[in-house]
Amino acid sequence: MTSLQPASVSVWRLATQGPAWRATDLDGKGAATTGGRWNAKDMPVVYAAQSIALACLETVVHLNASGLPIARYVVQIQIPAAVWQRARRLDGKDLPRGWNQLPRSVSAAAFGTAWLQGRASALLLVPSVIVPLEYNVLINPLHPDAAHITATDRGRFHYDGRLLPGR
């Protein structure tokens, strides 16, 4: 009997590209430059989502009044099944108080940074603040399993102008 288990699991990012970096980079340096909800400044992490639609929402909420970005790329991240099975998945009740507050809380960044530094797993699944029943996937580029995770550019992403009505 053959196994129906997939060889890998795909997660998604909408990433930018520039002269010094590729959209498919998985080194976490972009998040390290500013810090984020789940990481302190200077702590690398790769933010991804379980669907392209959630990845879109996660980027749209960070846009300013200047409009939709034009240089975004759909990046498919392939995670070997064995690495995915070792992921740590947390629900809101498992997270520090204020993890979902706006603006982002220090407690969430401290929690995520401790996970990154501890290197207990390559993946941490956390609820999306926007859609709490869906999960964002944090990839720890410092974990040895991260070397087995690959990324493929699936082409330009074009935001639908209706996402920002009146802007």
The predicted pLDDT at position 6 comes to 81
- Count of CA atoms in the C-beta half-sphere (13 A) of 91: 2
Write the DSSP string, 100-158: T-SSPPHHHHHHHHHHHHHTS-SEEEEE-SSSTTSEEEEE-TTSGGGGG-EEEEEEEE-
Determine the straight-line distance between the first and last CA of the chain, rounded to whole angstroms. 56
For residue 50, give both structure tokens. Answer: 């379980």
The predicted pLDDT at position 17 comes to 86
Q: Which helix (H) or strand (E) holds 53?
A: helix 52-60
Output DSSP code: residue 98.
Answer: T
Q: Are 145 and 32 in contact (CB under 8 A)?
A: no
As a whole number of angstroms, the distance between CA 49 and CA 126 comes to: 10
The predicted pLDDT at position 25 comes to 97
The predicted pLDDT at position 140 comes to 99
The predicted pLDDT at position 159 comes to 86
pTM strictly above 0.85: yes
Pick from 65, 28, 20, 33: nearest CA to 140: 28
For the chain, residues with pLDDT lower than 50 are: none
As a whole number of angstroms, the distance between CA 39 and CA 47 comes to: 10
Pick from 37, 17, 8, 21: nearest CA to 138: 37
When computed from its CA atoms, the radius of gyration of the chain, rounded to whole angstroms, is 16
